[in-house]
Chain A
Amino acid sequence: MYSPSFYQIAPVIAVCASLAAVPLIALSGSRPNLREFWTFLAAGTKFAMVFSLAGYVLAGNVVEVDLIRVLPELSISFRVDSFGIVFALVSSFLWIVAATYTIGYMRGLDEHAQTRFFVCFALSLCAAIGVAFSGNLLTMYIFYEMLSLSTYPLVAHHQDLEGRAGARKYLVFLLGGSVGLVLPALIILFALAGTLDFAYNIQSGIVPEGTGPTMVVILFFAFLFGFAKNGVMPMHAWLPGAMVAPTPVSALLHAVAVVKVGVFCTTRVMLYVFGIDLMADLNLGIITAYIVSFTIIMASIIALTKDNLKARLAYSTVSQLSYIILGVALLAPAAIQGGIIHIVNHAFAKITLFFCAGAIYVATHKKNISEMGGLGRVMPFTFGAFAVASLSMIGAPPVAGFITKWYILVGSLDAGQMAIILVLIASTMLNVGYFAPITYKAFFGKPPAGVSYEPGIKEAPLIMVVPIMVAATISVFIGIFPGFMMQFVQMVIP
């Protein structure tokens, strides 16, 4: 325990640590080891701050920091509560893991413009933690935009036609959603409610009583589809396009930071701006549940058709993100808990899967699933981790994904939504359908015609394999001991 003034400054340090590292990284471009040292220093500081805040929040405190009052009734402010800390813990911890992996990947492929890459990476993490700790919608919006802009050069990294096209699509969807839908909704909400600070409990929200239902519904859907990072169809199309980025970007940003920011913003708005009562009154919860159910099923079906491993993972992400929103939209306590904990569970599992895809590419330059027959015997650790993480995606015990499925199932029973249970079952089947063959073929299948592997293990560099094993192990660990993360979730809704 530190003094309370420490906890006033800790969120600022947590957000700004990676911002402060940006000039250092940029200036040490000619000395890669020093440059990577700055990344680790920033990542370590960030995680240490978040971790110390986690303990403080667990003791029942909420940290509030007012930075600048930009408009008379509106400030840029941080609020660290249990909901935000869940997301901040995951993304700051995984940055350390991903940074290790990234070094192996970027050096293994001798990529160009590595300094720019690490600078943008640090900026994105600053934005992600900023979103997690935002005290009101304006602050959240600012960091949300910062994240879109700082990841743009990462998506366009290869600078070729495909990279640029992907990056353009990325901006069109993300900026189109945020400027076209979220911004006006934000301002109209501000004009109605006179404040944009999040509510302190998830029951009431901040929308004033007596607001016309039509207006509430319009605002709600503007937020749901405007936060396009959440991948709800039809605003998901940027995510498969963004897969042209180097794999570490897909892993940390397009499986954890960026997409989770989208989901986090969506659920934050659902719970802390609209509130459970209002959503239940207007049946908004159940409508949302059906909208995202469509995304869950459709994205899984599309994933079945993809042969490119990263594309398949991308559609799997689209589908899994909607689980989180589905859980919250059911409005039953167990379902909300399941939705929130899925932010953690999906993060660890999906980052493992993307790490594996990158390791396979670095070791063998293979991108397509059909070429991966027999590869499991050459890269047993990578594919072993892949198998574990796919179990989590499917929702099989004892891996983390099971916890999510369990809570959401209980929640949908509580809410009396039998149709949602069918959706969950169908989605699980589809998950098995597109994940199981990959592992099966890798271990038991034959190599494609004309290819033969020499006996013996030939893995990617150790600096890549270790992060994979760490992430996969934690995934199992959470599945067996869900208590640590669940205690934060239970503080959001007991």
Chain B
Amino acid sequence: MMDQAPILIIIIPLFAALFLTLVGPLGPRFAYGLLITGLVGSLGCSLLSLGLVLDGNQAVQYRLGDWPPPLGIELVIDHLSGVVLVLIAGCALLTAIYSLRTAEQDNPDRLNHYYALFSLLVTGLLGMAASGDVFNIYVLLEISALSSYGLLARGQGPAYFATFKYLIVGTIGACFYLLGVGYLYIMTGSLNIADMAAILSQPELQESVSVRIGFTLIILGVWIKMALFPLHAWMPNAYSKAGTTTACLIAPLMTKVSVYIMLRMMFTLFSADYVFSAIVWSPYVIYLASAAAVIGMIAALAQRDLRKMLTFIIVAEIGYMTGGAWIATASGFIGATYHILADGLMTLCLFMAVGAIIYRTGETSMAAMRNIFQKMPVTAVIFVIGAASIIGVPPTCGFFSKWYLIQGAAEAEAWVFVAALLIASLVAAIIFFRLLEIAFFGDLDTTGASGDHGHSHQPVATLRAEAPLSMLIPMVITAASVIILGLYTKEVVNYFISWSVPLGI
């Protein structure tokens, strides 16, 4: 049973999705229970697999139908993908618990179909993280992408149009990736990552133009998928018009998994040697990443819609991770990988808090934040924790990822990237303190600017309307993990990430 854990991670949500399409007559609560059960099973198997990896201190290889690679399909779970699997399954489970009220509100009719897509999306994401085969990654990428189109299009107003844009761009991205895989397949005759990596390390292939084109296409495809500036234009509208649950599920996870795929392609399929010596992109990519970080944050500053603001923050965070991966130092790599975990948790935390605020106030603009500290104190504190992590206030995890990234950039003397990280942090501070001021003190005109000191105006009495418990519990867990991950940075880095630091950097 233990041996089967890796495949069960993917099989359980897949079958849950299948059954979910059939259980419509049993009512929404049954569908909710089934989804939760499936995700709990998947999370349990992810933890078991991670346990297997830690026990043996080596990657766990699972062969489907016992067909040996390179012909058979293989799942590879190592320290890195093990943690990413736990992150995906955990975040998906928390979002599923959170969805009790909002998913019903957004999908009063076919809730079971909505949940089926939800489960299928999670299947795709988990599969991408676990797969040891470039073509399967493509298939699972499309599974998750197609289900995300379905989920996103169920949002309000112009969501259809935004999703259509996303569909076109996303498909182009996937096509790039597939073309790249095609090139590499022609050159190596294999699709298994480990096998391809061995073949690609031959000197004549290192020089080959076809391989180089393959690499370029794959990386470009992944960049489109992860919304790296300037390929991000599809994302803000698609995510901000989505339903609350959809946004909580897709926004934190989809882009992070794409970053994970980028790291895998760069360092497992190819090697640090190839990426930083055979081709000389890294100075340019660092500029691109720096631009992404700064421009993403500044664009976020310009938004009045809360979720759109968060989406642009993700654009900036993608810049952080890309920069960390391409500065070619161990600290930078650790920073980028650690930030996958940190950013997944902190954006989930913020999207959940904002979702709860929108659920209670019915507004999506900054005005929704008015007097939130009085109205929804717990949600407000959770929002503050997420915001602190984005800004990089210790001891939240966002501080430590920034620490590693800046250290890596300083070691590589990539001062542009150091400056970009700091500017982005400062802009993030402005973004959030602007909101917190409204959240803490209300609008200026409601409290009045009268008198020269405060006792003349008592704060306007506001009704306490905390988010329902089904939303609060997952939010509290997420916010707690943001801090716990920060406090246990050393353990996370030592036990999981340091194993995956590629050779040669």
Give the residues in chain A near B108, CB-CB below 8 Å: none
Chain-B contact segment, one of A151-159, A286-294, A327-335: A151-159
Residue among B422, B454, B486 with most chain A CB within 10 A: B454
Say whether A141 contacts B440, CB under 8 Å.
no
Q: B332 to nearest A CB, angstroms?
A: 12
B478-505 vs A: 1/0 string, CB under 8 Å?
A: 0000000011011001100000000000
Q: Does A70 sit at the interface, judged by CB under 8 A?
A: yes
Say whether A70 contacts B487, CB under 8 Å.
yes
Say whether B422 contacts A159, CB under 8 Å.
no
State A159–B440 Cα separation when bound (angstroms).
10
Can you list 26 A-B contacts with CB-CB less than 8 angstroms, sorted by A residue number?
Answer: A71-B403, A71-B489, A72-B493, A111-B453, A111-B455, A112-B455, A112-B459, A113-B454, A113-B459, A138-B394, A141-B394, A145-B394, A158-B453, A159-B442, A159-B457, A160-B447, A160-B451, A160-B452, A162-B452, A164-B444, A175-B429, A176-B426, A183-B406, A183-B422, A184-B406, A184-B422
Q: B476 to nearest A CB, angstroms?
A: 16
Give the residues in chain A near B395, CB-CB below 8 Å: 70, 76, 142
From the candidates B403, B458, B490, name the one contacting A69 in the complex (CB within 8 A).
B490
Q: Does B437 sit at the interface, judged by CB under 8 A?
A: yes
Q: Does B22 sit at the interface, judged by CB under 8 A?
A: no
Q: Does B383 sit at the interface, judged by CB under 8 A?
A: no
For residue B392, which residue of chain A has the nearest CB? A179
Report A97-123 residues with CB < 8 Å from chain B CB.
109-113
Give the residues in chain A near B282, CB-CB below 8 Å: none
State A35–B331 Cα separation when bound (angstroms).
47
The DSSP consensus for interface residues of chain A is helix
Would A109 and B394 be within 8 Å (CB), given that A183-B406, A187-B410 are in contact? no
Give the residues in chain A near B441, CB-CB below 8 Å: 156, 159, 164
Say whether B425 contacts A179, CB under 8 Å.
yes
State A217–B25 Cα separation when bound (angstroms).
73
Q: Does A415 sit at the interface, judged by CB under 8 A?
A: no
Would A112 and B406 be within 8 Å (CB), given that A70-B395, A160-B449 are in contact? no
Q: Would you list the 4 A-B pairs with minimal beta carbon distance, nearest first?
A: A158-B454, A142-B394, A187-B406, A161-B449
Q: A247 to nearest B CB, angstroms?
A: 10
From the candidates A68, A110, A161, A184, name the one contacting B444 in the complex (CB within 8 A).
A161
From the candidates A70, A161, A180, A191, name the one contacting B400 in the complex (CB within 8 A).
A70
Q: A241 to nearest B CB, angstroms?
A: 15
Q: A125 to nearest B CB, angstroms?
A: 19
Residue among A111, A141, A159 with most chain B CB within 10 A: A159
For residue B453, which residue of chain A has the nearest CB? A158
Say whether A159 contacts B447, CB under 8 Å.
yes
State A425–B110 Cα separation when bound (angstroms).
83
Say whether B489 contacts A190, CB under 8 Å.
no
State A168–B441 Cα separation when bound (angstroms).
13
Q: Does B407 sit at the interface, judged by CB under 8 A?
A: yes
Say whether B426 contacts A175, CB under 8 Å.
yes
State A188–B409 Cα separation when bound (angstroms).
9
From the candidates A109, A149, A191, name the one contacting B453 in the complex (CB within 8 A).
A109
Number of residues of chain A lying within 8 A (CB) of chain B: 40
Say whether B411 contacts A191, CB under 8 Å.
yes
Q: Does A469 sit at the interface, judged by CB under 8 A?
A: no
A358-391 vs B: 1/0 string, CB under 8 Å?
A: 0000000000000000000000000000000000
Knowing that A176-B426, A184-B410 touch, tell me 17 more A-B residue pairs with CB under 8 angstroms: A71-B493, A72-B493, A109-B455, A110-B455, A112-B457, A113-B454, A141-B394, A157-B454, A159-B442, A171-B429, A175-B429, A179-B392, A179-B426, A183-B406, A187-B406, A191-B331, A191-B410
State A111–B459 Cα separation when bound (angstroms).
12
Say whether B494 contacts A72, CB under 8 Å.
yes
A212-227 vs B: 1/0 string, CB under 8 Å?
A: 0000000000000000
Say whether A70 contacts B490, CB under 8 Å.
yes
Q: Does B418 sit at the interface, judged by CB under 8 A?
A: yes
B424-444 vs A: 1/0 string, CB under 8 Å?
A: 011001000100010011101
Give the residues in chain A near B410, CB-CB below 8 Å: 184, 187-188, 191
Q: A145 to nearest B CB, angstroms?
A: 6
State A453–B422 Cα separation when bound (angstroms).
57
Say whether A70 contacts B486, CB under 8 Å.
yes
For residue A111, which residue of chain B has the nearest CB? B455
Give the residues in chain A near B422, CB-CB below 8 Å: 179-180, 183-184
State A192–B454 Cα separation when bound (angstroms).
49
How many pairs, one residue from A and one from B, have CB atoms within 8 Å of each other in the complex?
100
State A145–B406 Cα separation when bound (angstroms).
18
A1-27 vs B: 1/0 string, CB under 8 Å?
A: 000000000000000000000000000
State A342–B494 Cα separation when bound (angstroms).
45
Residue among A111, A158, A168 with most chain B CB within 10 A: A158
Give the residues in chain B near A175, CB-CB below 8 Å: 426, 429
State A111–B452 Cα separation when bound (angstroms).
12
Give the residues in chain B near A167, CB-CB below 8 Å: 437
Q: Does B378 sit at the interface, judged by CB under 8 A?
A: no
Q: A461 to nearest B CB, angstroms?
A: 16
Report A111-150 residues with CB < 8 Å from chain B CB.
111-113, 138, 141-142, 145, 149
For residue B329, which residue of chain A has the nearest CB? A191
Report B331-382 residues with CB < 8 Å from chain A CB.
331
Give the residues in chain B near A180, CB-CB below 8 Å: 422, 426
Give the residues in chain B near A176, CB-CB below 8 Å: 426
Q: Does B18 sit at the interface, judged by CB under 8 A?
A: no
Q: A19 to nearest B CB, angstroms?
A: 14
Give the residues in chain A near B414, CB-CB below 8 Å: none
Say whether B454 contacts A112, CB under 8 Å.
yes
For residue B454, which residue of chain A has the nearest CB? A158
State A72–B450 Cα separation when bound (angstroms).
53
Give the residues in chain B near A159, CB-CB below 8 Å: 441-442, 447, 454, 457, 459
Q: Does B175 sit at the interface, judged by CB under 8 A?
A: no
Q: B337 to nearest A CB, angstroms?
A: 15
Q: A104 to nearest B CB, angstroms?
A: 15
State A185–B393 Cα separation when bound (angstroms).
16
Give the residues in chain A near B437, CB-CB below 8 Å: 156, 164, 167-168
For residue B419, which residue of chain A has the nearest CB? A184
Say whether B490 contacts A190, CB under 8 Å.
no
State A180–B393 Cα separation when bound (angstroms).
13
Q: B293 to nearest A CB, angstroms?
A: 14
Q: B82 to nearest A CB, angstroms?
A: 20
A242-279 vs B: 1/0 string, CB under 8 Å?
A: 00001000000000000000000000000000000000
Give the residues in chain B near A163, CB-CB below 8 Å: 454
Say whether A71 contacts B400, CB under 8 Å.
yes
Give the residues in chain B near A111, CB-CB below 8 Å: 453-455
State A433–B222 Cα separation when bound (angstroms).
69
State A162–B452 Cα separation when bound (angstroms).
9
State A50–B23 Cα separation when bound (angstroms).
66
Q: A261 to nearest B CB, angstroms?
A: 16
State A159–B458 Cα separation when bound (angstroms).
10
Q: B42 to nearest A CB, angstroms?
A: 31
Report A69-106 residues with CB < 8 Å from chain B CB.
69-72, 76
Give the residues in chain B near A76, CB-CB below 8 Å: 395
